[in-house]
Amino acid sequence: MNRLKNQRVYLAGAMDRVADRGNGRRDNITPYLEDLGVIVFNPIKKPTKIGKEDVETHRYKTKLKLEKNYDELSAIMKTIRGVDLRLVDISDFLIVNLDLDVHPCGTYEEVFLANRSKKPVIIHLEQGKQNAPDWLFGTIPHQMIFSSWNELKNYLQYIDSYNDIEHHN
Condensed to tens digits (0 to 9), the pLDDT of residues 139-166 reads 999 999 999 999 999 999 999 998 766 6
- The whole-chain average pLDDT of the chain stands at 94
Tens digit of each residue's pLDDT (9 = 90 or more) over 63-88 = 999 999 999 999 999 999 999 999 99
H helix intervals, 12-167: 23-35, 55-66, 70-90, 105-116, 134-137, 149-161
- pTM reported for the whole predicted model: 0.93
